[in-house]
Structure 1
């Protein structure tokens, strides 16, 4: 059964079924700004990936968000922030509810039961920089740049930026970006740990993502999801709690039958073959 991507059409999805790789090539609005339509599409994406039938029929084991968008002046764009224009005329209650919705979406994206890569290709402002925090691994092309301009608009990065950025880059760098709104290039983003890899072009970045996907599709989707869940849930917790999370995740792999599949297929796996992993609910 082919995967129905109609509910996420606003994100311009492209499915590489052989690699179990879903690529979102953002291309909307004036500058890929994130508004209500895109939030709804991202929520639909989460529902699609979390759905039990998806896991049974055609699992996606790797997700990549990128863009080939270029401005009229030839400037590459990844995500140029939230769609502020649509908020004209909104009252304070509506604005607060909208940002809470964004924050909940970002939390959900961070916990998706697959390997999630963000490939920034250009201007990455506000919501775009916060989106990088939802990824398991972030790549920037040489043309990428990052900034958090919110304090200059009388607000702050409210879609997990204030809550999570310091965990990734440290308090000093987070305060530098959030308080001053200073823009940094790809090399500086790599230096401070906002991204984990820098490449020259989007093509090289996608080649890297495809290599990830090739590795991931040979592994148990449930085991990958269980590892990610236990690791993220354990961050900041005492050792005893981290060990308990690891134990529960390991036993989940055993109880699901994935460990038995791995044991019985060990010889084939050593030859580079992929066993018939189970189709279980990933969450």
Structure 2
């Protein structure tokens, strides 16, 4: 699939665009370690429903590049949210349906929480995807800690070297563990794994998993956003949140409901793992359309921030 590129903040963001230029805007973000191909099928369905679908390669993935060599290769949550907002500004999109899972869902949640006037509705895999960094060192139950082995691995230089040595092998292992019921094949994986060849991939990934535990400083350019996120701001926009009951990394997020103070529906998909849009594209597209319809029924009015 051919991509377009736009200068947006600190990045030249590469993105896929499907549908008419005057379609209702829908921006979907991929996670780690995945890429834009996760939305190939769901984008087709949404275009058929009149959407203009935009799927960016996140910082550190695919053809997306930093504009300046000296910019910190940050993977912190505030940077992801700022990137999404900058993309919307660069494309002249005032408001959009936004969504995603994992890193991409985090960006969508941040924009929804901090700039609700820019969001029509939200679809979020794993619900409230904003990190609570001040509480990151509180231990979880052992089964959940075991599922986060890769994060602790990346805290060490051994983990950095392991990712540098064979990023594809690390990603393959995570795909298998996180989506145990998804029968993906080697060509499907290879299609997405090409995005990991980005020269900034390792630096961005390592920074992301260290920053969320307060082990490394963030990029000062995003300090104000990180400060606002410490308060764990509520999400007021209409939202559909989703878990897969076979997700190998997240045990379920129904308990996040109190973070959503606007119209909200939580769904649990039977037999689905972590890569929700690619495992269940028809259901993902339906969730996007339902979230948009929810906003219309609620008479959602947009306010200035």
TM-score, structure 2 length as denominator?
Answer: 0.33
TM-score, structure 1 length as denominator?
Answer: 0.35
Structure number with greater Rg is: 1
Which structure has greater helix proportion? 1
With a CA cutoff of 8 Å and minimum separation of 6, indicate the structure with the bigger relative contact order.
2
